[in-house]
Amino acid sequence: MSRTLVIWLPPVAALREENTPYPAWLRIDDGVIVDSGQDDGWVGAWETPQDEDADGRLVALAPAADVPLRWLHYPDAAPAQAAAAARIDALKDSLGDAASLHVVTGQPAGEGQAVPVAVTTHAAMAAWADWLKARDLAPVAIIPATAAVPPPEPDTLWTAEIGGEQVIRSADRAYLSDPELDPLIAGNHAVVPLDSDRMREALLLTLAAPPLDLLSGGWKPKRSWSVDAAMLRTAKLLLVALIAISVLVPVIYAIRLAADTGRADEAVVAMAKKAGVAAPDPAAAEAELDRRLAAAGGGPLAFSVPASALYDAMGDAPGVSLKTLSHRTDGTLSTTLAAPRVEDINQVLLALQARSYRITAQPMAGSDGQQMANITIRAVP
């Protein structure tokens, strides 16, 4: 449910009095006026709403005594240009120092439409701001009360009571009624009372789509960041879920890895059993297989393992040649390498060390001027 509380701001002259009268007010629920008055009856209903899920807003109406309204026409100007021109013309036509005036213009919806212009003072805005602040009220908009009076029929003027003020509305102006000046301003035009039902409908339309807002320029409220309780709860739940997922992912991965490792260990033990090796775990099975292969002259201690690594390393050093090669049963490969430069032999040694072989080297000079080295390579990394 949407709720709107409308409060008429007191005239500036009334604020100077010792006892400021209660403002006129009305409450609107879902576009229907449900309560009104000119007392403090709005306070309880606004501060303690019946519906906790209600979407409420406060709109203040500025009195006609302090904010008259004009409509200026610029048929050939675009809406933005018309609004700028209306502001300049309103300042030209206003009395007093321009710096003390607060001029607000609306922007017409289309080209050729009239531009509403409200003129008040910064002193009045400050007085209303203090009055609202003293009551902990923060309206979303301050609309001139005269903006709610619809335009009259041709050759007539409306007179309507709004917020305890009698307002006159002509084709291009809306202002506070003055019994002595009204006949002079009306001239030969008839002043016709506006039907209360029509005035009520016009007020509701104005509140739904305000033609202008006095809370603009220097009086525009500064944006304040507020934390929505529901969004905060959602953010907390998302944070908890993120932490839980962050913890569960590695835990699940570890469980799956442990399960896969267990299955692999069982498969190794089963394969070793088929080979006649009875072992309680894969490490024991691997040790027993290495022992049997070593005894048979195979496995990682076989000649082919370090010899293959040696030939691969020599493939990256074309200048290195093999002079002698022998193999012992403990898996050690002995060889003599020759090369034009010591750096070429070192390249082979570094390649073997990169493959985690244990290397010993004893350099010596060859009879043909080449560099030579006696090298041993441990077959087991």
pLDDT value of position 67: 93
pLDDT at 55 over 80: no
pLDDT at 223: 65
Residue with tokens 């603009």: 216
Distance CA 74, CA 93 (A): 16
Give Cα 136 to chain centroid, integer Å. Answer: 30
Question: Residue 320, SS3?
Answer: coil
- Rounded CA-CA distance 161/199 in Å is 9
pTM above 0.85, yes or no: no
Predicted local confidence at residue 66, as pLDDT? 92
Confidence of residue 122 (pLDDT cuts 50, 70, 90): very high
Is the pLDDT at 42 greater than 70? The verdict is no
* Angle, helices 304-315/342-354, rounded to nearest 10 degrees: 130
The tens digit of pLDDT for each residue in 321-358 reads 888 888 877 778 888 988 888 888 888 888 888 888 88
Q: What is the pLDDT of residues 258-299, one digit of tens each?
A: 888 888 888 877 887 777 777 788 788 777 776 666 665 555
Q: Residue 125: what pLDDT?
A: 94
pLDDT at 227: 64
**What's the confidence (pLDDT) of residue 124?**
93
How many Å apart are CA 202 and CA 216, to the nearest integer?
23
Cα dihedral angle (265, 271, 273, 276), rounded to 10 degrees?
Answer: -140
Task: List, in order, residues 6 or more apart from 201 with CB less than 8 Å away.
Answer: none
Helix axes 229-274, 282-295, angle to 10 degrees: 30
Asked whether residue 48 carries a pLDDT value surpassing 50, the answer given is no
Q: Which domains does the chain have, with CATH numbers?
A: 2-221 (3.30.420.380), 230-294 (no CATH), 297-378 (3.30.1360.100)
10 vs 310 pLDDT, higher one? 10
